[in-house]
Structure 1
């Protein structure tokens, strides 16, 4: 079994793939080389864009939104590359199809888990709205209701989501799939497999960061070793080191949460709670009102950030689903001929 800390086998360990077709003309070889370079340089640029400028960016909802956008773009680039390679699905090795379909199922499951957790976090906003509504009055009865809602919010936010907990097993499967099938006779296939490796590395990294953030456990973080020969390797290593390092630092400090906007709300809750527990001192009315305003502003920021992140996770879900549906549709077309094996594969996948 492949482990996160182990060195994965270089994809092009068998030498220069373009050497195989050099006798057929350099134009084709150069074209494939350009397509691969374009994909890898674009991926490197995306990874550099994700590299946080300061520690406060790590696990902010805006950074998580950007990370999910990046995944959507990379997976769309894979679909574009398949088209540009002019590699019809009937030419795909059966092992590639198995790998692609298995990965897509795992990614769909992860998206569902993430969407579930974002929705759960957003439900806490209703409790905060109850708090703010009750604090419109300074009566002791309303303060008791506000305290109860704050207790409910902290209990709700600190509870565990079993769907997120299951992501660890799914991520381990994705790490194992980083060792792609070796391609012997198809130069285009080698280009595709190398590009898919880059897409999968970014995907596993981002999903492991999300799983760690949502679960409140640094054990979900993965360290992926990438060979230096990839154009995007240095950008990825720098990104992984800075993001994982900061997340582990936050976990070691035993904070309530590693999500920045959620932590900001919790800070306001901690400041406000003693005030409504002991009653508002007339001398401190202004400080009380400021604390209420701070909570309202931060709660709204958290809610808006979660809504935007929901859209990006849903978008990634549909990108993965669309790619899977396209492949299955092409397999159906292939199976209308004499290839009964592919027809059986489509039927088996649809019933699983």
Structure 2
């Protein structure tokens, strides 16, 4: 699709491309969860974002290995890169805002635990109010995450562009960027689906079999998308594992706070309080770790964009294109 029949690559260029694609293929194989319960756990999400960061970092290494100066880039490549980078930064901002929003619920859970710590029977009304606040907070919707789907649609529409002519190095660069873009769209769509509680926008991307990573990606995509669709069809409120664990404990604890309980249930009640504390801490810590990786991804995309713009400024040919490609959109 990107390297048409008859395209010639020197042994050196072919080795650079193959090394990149083999590394991407291995990364995609490692991303496949061991089982359904590992999908969209915060541990897996952190690992997925780390993988994405590494793939984008590998693009920088590949550009250096190609010895392809920015001044030799085709104008179409530059426009697509600048436009895509702004969209990725917007996605990062949306993901960060959702992770922060979810983590704000930790304060409400801490209030519940505080009210139940010393003399729970006198604090039931306040504990129940905090639990009501937590349930309302978690079930609310973040419009920024909803907007991610439109951005991902736009990225998908330009997945196979632009065409490359008369530049063997350019073809290698575009095929490598194609692979990273596929991984980026896939992972970001999984995150967006998990955060919105909807599998309707999950993408099934078709990739050419000529890519060395095609088999690993198709296997990963089929397994993860399929399992997430099953989870939602079974009526699960959320596919985020750590969030669901807290929600399950809240549903057990809430009736006992609202209606009271007998002497024989006191130990069970204390166990639920303990489970809530452990689950809340695990959820908060997991959200923090994923947020850190999303921020790392943001910085990698931003630094790559800045490096490109800086090289053009040296050549005196960036001002108009930078502004046309939405550089000002990054400033919030």
Q: TM-score range by the shorter chain?
A: over 0.9
Stretches of structure 1 lacking an aligned partner (at least 5 in a row) = 1-9, 19-28
Between the aligned partners of 1:319 and 1:117, the Cα distance in structure 2 is 20
Among 300, 308, 314, the alignment partner of 1:327 is 308
1:259 aligns to 2:240 (yes or no): yes
1:94 aligns to 2:70 (yes or no): no
In the alignment, which residue of structure 2 is the partner of 1:11? 2
Between the aligned partners of 2:163 and 2:72, the Cα distance in structure 1 is 15
Between the aligned partners of 1:14 and 1:161, the Cα distance in structure 2 is 46
Matched ranges for 1:128-207 at <5 A: 128-207=109-188
Deviation at 1:163, TM superposition (A): 0.3
Between the aligned partners of 1:308 and 1:194, the Cα distance in structure 2 is 31
Q: 1:351 to 1:203 in 2, by over 3 A?
A: closer
Among 181, 193, 198, the alignment partner of 1:217 is 198
Between the aligned partners of 2:308 and 2:83, the Cα distance in structure 1 is 12
Deviation at 1:112, TM superposition (A): 0.2
1:344 aligns to 2:325 (yes or no): no
TM-score of the superposed pair, with normalisation by structure 1: 0.91
CA offsets per residue over residues 96-124 of structure 1, 9 Å max, x none?
A: 00010010000000000000000000000
Among 284, 289, 294, the alignment partner of 1:303 is 284
CA offsets per residue over residues 22-65 of structure 1, 9 Å max, x none?
A: xxxxxxx1111110000000000000000011111100000000
CA offsets per residue over residues 197-241 of structure 1, 9 Å max, x none?
A: 000000000000000001111122111001111110000001001
Between the aligned partners of 1:16 and 1:200, the Cα distance in structure 2 is 22
CA offsets per residue over residues 286-311 of structure 1, 9 Å max, x none?
A: 11111110111011100000000010
Between the aligned partners of 1:155 and 1:127, the Cα distance in structure 2 is 11
Q: Are the equivalent residues in 2 in contact too, given 1:334–1:343 (CA < 8 A)?
A: no
Deviation at 1:180, TM superposition (A): 1.7
Among 90, 93, 114, the alignment partner of 1:109 is 90
TM-score of the superposed pair, with normalisation by structure 2: 0.96
1:123 aligns to 2:104 (yes or no): yes
Deviation at 1:274, TM superposition (A): 1.3
Deviation at 1:334, TM superposition (A): 1.5
1:75 aligns to 2:52 (yes or no): no
Aligned residues: 328
Deviation at 1:137, TM superposition (A): 3.6
**SS where residue 200 of structure 2 aligns?**
helix
In the alignment, which residue of structure 2 is the partner of 1:62? 43
Between the aligned partners of 1:253 and 1:351, the Cα distance in structure 2 is 43
